[in-house]
Amino acid sequence: MTADKLPALAPDTLRITPLGGLGEVGRNMTVFEMNGRLLIVDCGVLFPNDDQPGVDLILPDYSSILDRLDDVVAIVLTHGHEDHIGAVPFLLKRRPDIPLIGSTLTLALIEAKLHEHRITPYTLSVREGDVEELGQFTCEFIAVNHSIPDALAVNITTKAGSVLHTGDFKMDQLPLDGRITDLRAFARMGEAGVDLFMVDSTNAEVPGFTIHEREIGPVIDSVFTRAPGKIVVASFASHVHRIQQVLDAAAAHERKVAFVGRSMVRNMAIAAKLGFLHYPDGVVVDLKQLHQLPDHRQVIVATGSQGEPMAALARMAKGTHKIGIGEGDTVIFASSLIPGNENSIFRVINGLMARGAAVVHQGTARVHVSGHASAGELLYCYNIVQPANVLPIHGEIRHLVANAALAASTGIRRENIFVCDNGHVLDLHNGKVTIAGQIPCELVFVDGSSVGEITEMELKDRRILGEEGFVSAFAVVNLREREIVAGPHLQARGIAEDDRVFEKITPQVYDALADALDSGKDDPYALQQVMRRVIGQYASKRLRRRPMIIPVVVPHE
């Protein structure tokens, strides 16, 4: 069903369409429509996995609103993580003056990103307790605790009813910055009546309560105590609280810290300027100054905690970075392991350990805690808010299903809990939610400068090239005389040391091509298919491979 085939939206009805973030961890984006106006909450990216070679980023599929961008009243950004703000530059290239609404830190991070794209946005900074009238939507912002400072939930009130969108959140009662999730505001929203509760699902499978962030500090301190050489800390470039604990440990152990990686350097400078990160006196230096110190006084905070091949840490593991890793050095993975990245991360860990480094990660020590509410916290929220309807968001299918089960256990009726896919369209009217239909919602791949031009078929070709190899076959034929003038010549890549593996098959390809000409075939495409079939059968039976085969037949007069 396309957007133009959906049922017409009745007056004073709120339409909610998630365009990303359901069934996946990333590219979070939801569109709200009311009386001809659109409000967008979050616009993030998803990072590719191993079976998407060459892809840089994956965007939400916002094709359904491209012809309606003039109707967008604002983009509300709940916090500054890439999976919530990373796609904003790509959307603003279509309409640069869409207002961006968010907290001080969130807007500073997205403005820096937009500057690289030569876009100067219109922004409106908000904080908890603020209420903004955005066209048909009244938005009240609520403080929530997450793994990045200054995160917000948003309560959207319309003539159709109210929607409470948590963003990403947890209920850490002892946060480093003292800013806790405002459950009193959640309770107040619940008393007024929440018609739809859109709830972060990422940790819904995890029982109990998420551990306090401050419990990481003593573990990091103990690692610093034992480390004889340089220390490398790999973290997300936006994890300000975690970096603060690293800086404090470095100061306590008389070490200096240098940031490595463009996004890390940029984000930490922004956080420090705005007061969200405190540099202990003299601890932070540039990399040149750090290199002048002995190893036991060096700390490097770098990107690459997810095993990204071009990030600083992966290059250190390969020995191609200017920072060398060796015996006596310690590497701390101070971040979560995002599903789908396991192979890349363990590849980097193995590379570091092969160079003699000691590697500390969440599987061996408590150097990371989640930024998302676990099952116990979610139960608290459901009991406090007591929503009429629930839409689990932000997570894979298993997370959404687990979150739905938690909602049901608190007494919310199953028929009022909606486990949806990206592209599902929900209508809210007079407190009742119905599914109006579903629109196509594809993965939009960014590959270099191309956006949306790479298809799944082309990715399949890349996977075949990478896993099975490539064979080209070239022949020149005289179609009038029905004879082979030159060739066939076969070349292989990614299959064997050289082309000799196909010497046995070349006469068979010649004979098959000659037989086809003798039988009356004079279409170059049909002759190419003959060569493809013979080569494919040989590769499958003898080599147990299914390479990409590119046959070329050139007519000759």
Contacts made by residues 28-31, CB under 8 angstroms, sequence distance 24+: 28/60, 28/83, 28/84, 28/393, 28/394, 29/60, 29/62, 29/87, 30/165, 30/198, 30/393, 31/62, 31/64, 31/65
Mean pLDDT, residues 23-51 taken together:
90
What percent of the chain is modeled with pLDDT above 90? 58
Mean pLDDT, residues 266-289 taken together:
93
Per residue in 514-539, pLDDT tens? Answer: 878 877 777 778 888 888 888 888 77
For residue 348, is pLDDT > 60?
yes
Contact call for residues 151 and 126 (beta carbons, < 8 A): no
Q: Which residue has the higher pLDDT, 405 or 315?
A: 405
Residue with tokens 């590959």: 447
Report how far apart the first and last C-alpha atoms of the chain are (Å, whole number). Answer: 52
The whole-number pLDDT of residue 199 equals 97
Q: What is the mean pLDDT of the chain?
A: 88
Under the banding of pLDDT at 50, 70 and 90, the label for residue 379 is very high
Angle at CA 379, nearest 5°, toward 374 and 385? 125
φ/ψ region of 185 (left if φ > 0, alpha if ψ in -120 to 50, else beta) reads alpha
Under the banding of pLDDT at 50, 70 and 90, the label for residue 231 is very high
Per residue in 311-323, pLDDT tens? Answer: 778 888 888 888 8
d(CA 422, CA 28): 10
For residue 301, is pLDDT > 60?
yes
Q: Which residue has the higher pLDDT, 551 or 468?
A: 551
pTM summary value: 0.83
For residue 237, is pLDDT > 90?
no
d(CA 61, CA 71): 17
Cβ-count burial of 95 within 10 angstroms (0-12 exposed, 13-18 middle, 19+ buried)?
exposed
Question: Which H helix or E strand runs over 57?
Answer: strand 57-59
Q: DSSP 3-state assignment of 413? A: coil
Contact call for residues 554 and 477 (beta carbons, < 8 A): yes
List 359's β-bridge partners, or say none.
331
Instruction: Phi first, then psi: give them for residue 336, nearest 5 degrees.
Output: -80, 165
Q: What is the dihedral of CA 260, 266, 267, 273, to 10 degrees?
A: 120
Q: Which residue has the higher pLDDT, 509 or 385?
A: 385
**Helix spans in 308-455 (H):** 312-318, 342-354, 375-385, 397-409
The whole-number pLDDT of residue 547 equals 78
Mean pLDDT, residues 213-233 taken together:
91
